[in-house]
Amino acid sequence: MSEKFKTELNEACPTALSQMIGEKSVVEQVRVALDAAHQDVKKFDHSLLVGPSGCGKTQTAKIIAAEMGADLHELLGQSITCPADFNAVLLAAKDREILFVDECHELDREFQTALFLALDQRKLLLGGSRSGRAIQSVPLSDFTLLLATTDEFGVLSPLAQRMRLILRFQFYSVEELAKILLQRSRALGWPVDAEALHLIGERSRGTPRLALRLLQSCRRCCRAEGESTITMEHLRRACELEQIDSLGLGPTEQGYLEVLAEGTNRLNVIASMLGLPARTLSQVVEPFLLRTGLVVKDDQGRRELTSKGREHLSNHRTNCV
Ligand SMILES: Nc1ncnc2c1ncn2[C@@H]1O[C@H](COP(=O)(O)OP(=O)(O)OP(=O)(O)O)[C@@H](O)[C@H]1O
Ligand SMILES: [Mg+2]
């Protein structure tokens, strides 16, 4: 797509490894693996991409495919629900093609097992007693498997162990997020005040996807006023509309802190009070709050607000942005 037609954030994603900001060790591992694959005219190694949501796993899979000049076939773990779907995906994969399974921990155990057996033997066994047909062994192409997950322990260890590279994504610093925002706003031709860029980074919980979403909201507020440069005022308005506070917490996180302030400290009780699955709380809502020291968890799994958490909550109640 030519530069001048780029209007949406996702039309201006980085497409080369050199454009990736942060994640130094992931970038280094991928660079070495790409060099090795090019030297030996081989496919890219099977890899597991692990890390928090919105931190660049899918983007990295696309960059690997682009740098290899290979086709990327993308699917979600939960979209494979029957053996026929699973077999069709593996049989359709061609030599050097990249098969990218996102949320691979959602792939049924039965398919995870079949997957590592297929990788080991480079063949698929079809038929058998359940189908009433004789077992048939069908060779598979020499494709690359990239698995992405936010839940490393939901992936069967024999499958994880067969991945030659483990790429671990981390949360980003405010400076890295500001660089990502600058890169994206330049690619889209959206002028932004440097101070606003930094503050968007501070309100994005270490996550590029959240930073880019807030940038988009700021741009909306800016354009609604008929202006072209995103300023602190547009950021203030966007945060007000989206109920994002000074640490980037939204209504769910704020509600969580309120429930803890009332003295509730058991995960299941907090989850039912907020109307959310306990797993969502522990895997999506809590990591940032624990990491930033707003909340602590004791050996019995009881959650408690820290003094920093109390202070943040009372500032938020008085300022509301
Ligand atoms: N290092 C980076 N440099 C530039 N942009 C980035 C970087 N990491 C992520 N992004 C951007 O952030 C957004 C979210 O990234 P991505 O979709 O790859 O996350 P993910 O880890 O796959 O999330 P999920 O687990 O929810 O699938 C995308 O627009 C992507 O281009
Ligand atoms: Mg993804």
Kind of pairing, strands 303-305 and 123-128?
unpaired
* 57 catalytically annotated: yes
- Whether 2 shows a pLDDT value over 60: the answer reads no
Together in a domain, 39 and 114: yes
What pLDDT shows up at residue 221? 98
Q: Judge whether 3 lies within some domain.
A: no
- Percent residues over pLDDT 70 in the chain: 95
Residues 196, 193: Cα–Cα separation, whole Å = 5
Q: Judge whether 6 lies within some domain.
A: no
Nearest listed ligand to the Cα of residue 53 = 1
Are 252 and 276 in contact by the 8 Å Cβ rule? The answer is yes
Residues 257, 314: Cα–Cα separation, whole Å = 10
CATH number (domain holding residue 278): 1.10.10.10
* 31 catalytically annotated: no
Q: Is 206 in the pocket of ligand 1 (CB under 6 A)?
A: no
Mind listing the pLDDT tens digit for each residue in 116-138? 888 888 888 877 666 667 788 88
* 317 catalytically annotated: no
Query: DSSP code of 260?
Result: H
Which position among 149, 150, 207, 231 bears the catalytic label? Answer: 150
Query: DSSP code of 152?
Result: G
Mind listing the pLDDT tens digit for each residue in 238-248? 999 999 999 99
Residues 203, 211: Cα–Cα separation, whole Å = 7
Together in a domain, 162 and 33: yes
Query: DSSP code of 230?
Result: B
Please give the distance, rounded to the nearest whole angstrom, from the Cα atom of residue 76 to the centre of ligand 2.
9
Together in a domain, 300 and 277: yes
Please give the distance, rounded to the nearest whole angstrom, from the Cα atom of residue 55 to the centre of ligand 1.
5
Q: Is 22 in the pocket of ligand 1 (CB under 6 A)?
A: yes
Together in a domain, 63 and 197: no
Q: Judge whether 17 lies within some domain.
A: no
Domain that holds residue 122: 23-168
By three-state DSSP, how is residue 137 classified? strand
Which position among 209, 220, 236, 297 bears the catalytic label? Answer: 209
pLDDT category at 237 given cuts 50, 70, 90 is very high
What pLDDT shows up at residue 319? 66
- Whether 82 shows a pLDDT value over 90: the answer reads no
For 316, the enclosing helix (H) or strand (E) is helix 307-319
Mind listing the pLDDT tens digit for each residue in 251-286? 999 999 999 999 999 999 999 999 999 988 998 899
- Residues 291-310 have a mean pLDDT of 94
User: Which residue reads 């509730």 in tokens?
Assistant: 264
- Of 125, 143, 168, the position where a domain reaches its end is 168
Q: Is 102 in the pocket of ligand 1 (CB under 6 A)?
A: yes
Mind listing the pLDDT tens digit for each residue in 167-205? 999 999 999 999 999 999 999 999 999 999 999 999 999
Together in a domain, 27 and 161: yes
Residue of 17, 29, 47, 55 with the most ligand 1 atoms within 8 Å of its CB, for mutation:
55
| Pairwise pLDDT comparison (78 vs 317), residue with the higher score | 78
- Whether 315 shows a pLDDT value over 80: the answer reads yes
Together in a domain, 29 and 156: yes
Together in a domain, 163 and 179: no
Q: Which of 78, 64, 62, 75 is nearest to 33 (CA)?
A: 64
Number of domains in the chain: 3
Mind listing the pLDDT tens digit for each residue in 95-120? 999 999 999 999 999 889 988 888 88
CATH number (domain holding residue 236): 1.10.8.60
Q: Judge whether 11 lies within some domain.
A: no
What pLDDT shows up at residue 85? 86
CATH number (domain holding residue 81): 3.40.50.300
What pLDDT shows up at residue 11? 79
Query: DSSP code of 283?
Result: I
- Whether 6 shows a pLDDT value over 90: the answer reads no
What pLDDT shows up at residue 5? 54
- Whether 40 shows a pLDDT value over 80: the answer reads yes
End-to-end CA distance of the chain: 38
What CA–CA distances, in Å, run from 184 to 22, 73, 195, 212, 294? 14, 25, 16, 8, 31
* 45 catalytically annotated: no
What does 51-112 look like in DSSP terms, one character per residue?
--TTSSHHHHHHHHHHHHT--EEEEEGGG--SHHHHHHHHHH--TT-EEEEETGGGS-HHHH
